């Protein structure tokens, strides 16, 4: 398997991820649900008025970590890249997930926005490894 395949296996599907943004030069970390895409981008949804949206608009550089949380020895990734906030209906429809209904009711809710995370580099940390492998687009 290639490094990209290994990373894809970790991020495939939906995961609870730790998302770090910057606010006034200080890191802020919170858990978000993200879904990995084949091109190694990550996608999630949030409320337009959330602090993370404001922070991303001020500084789109983010850090994300994903680990399955199933087994202590499972691999994990550390993602560094840029975030985009999308409010247009086309993107909202493209990434709509029925589980969002409990939060947003409908895809055209103006409070629903898509967060798209584009990788600058991704570290893959394999079980027992002391050194990460680094993937860059």
- Give dist(CA 105, CA 29) in Å, integer: 27
Mean pLDDT of 28-49: 97
pTM above 0.85, yes or no: yes
- Output the domain CATH number for residue 11: 2.30.110.10
- Give dist(CA 7, CA 80) in Å, integer: 13
Containing domain of residue 48, as a range?
A: 3-135
> pLDDT digits over 94-111, tens only?
999 999 999 999 999 999
Q: Taking 80 as the threshold, does the pLDDT of residue 15 lie above it?
A: yes
pLDDT of residue 12: 95
> pLDDT digits over 73-91, tens only?
899 999 999 999 999 999 9
> pLDDT digits over 56-70, tens only?
999 999 999 999 778
- Count of alpha carbons within 13 Å of 87, Cβ hemisphere only? 7
Closest CA to 41 of 24, 62, 26, 72: 62
Percent of the chain with pLDDT over 90: 91
């Amino acid at each position: 398997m290639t490094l990209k395949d290994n990373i894809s296996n970790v991020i495939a599907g939906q995961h609870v991820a730790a998302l770090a943004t910057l606010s006034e030069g200080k890191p802020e970390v919170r858990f978000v649900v993200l879904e990995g895409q084949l091109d190694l981008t990550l996608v999630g949804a949030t409320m337009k008025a959330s602090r993370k949206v404001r922070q991303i608009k001020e500084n789109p550089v983010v850090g994300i970590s994903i680990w399955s949380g199933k087994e202590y020895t499972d691999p994990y990734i550390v993602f560094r890249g840029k975030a985009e906030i999308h409010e247009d209906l086309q993107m909202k429809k493209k990434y709509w997930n029925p589980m969002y209904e409990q939060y947003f009711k409908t895809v055209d809710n103006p409070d629903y926005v898509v967060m798209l995370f584009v990788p600058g580099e991704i570290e893959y940390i394999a079980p027992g490894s002391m050194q990460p492998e680094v993937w860059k687009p």
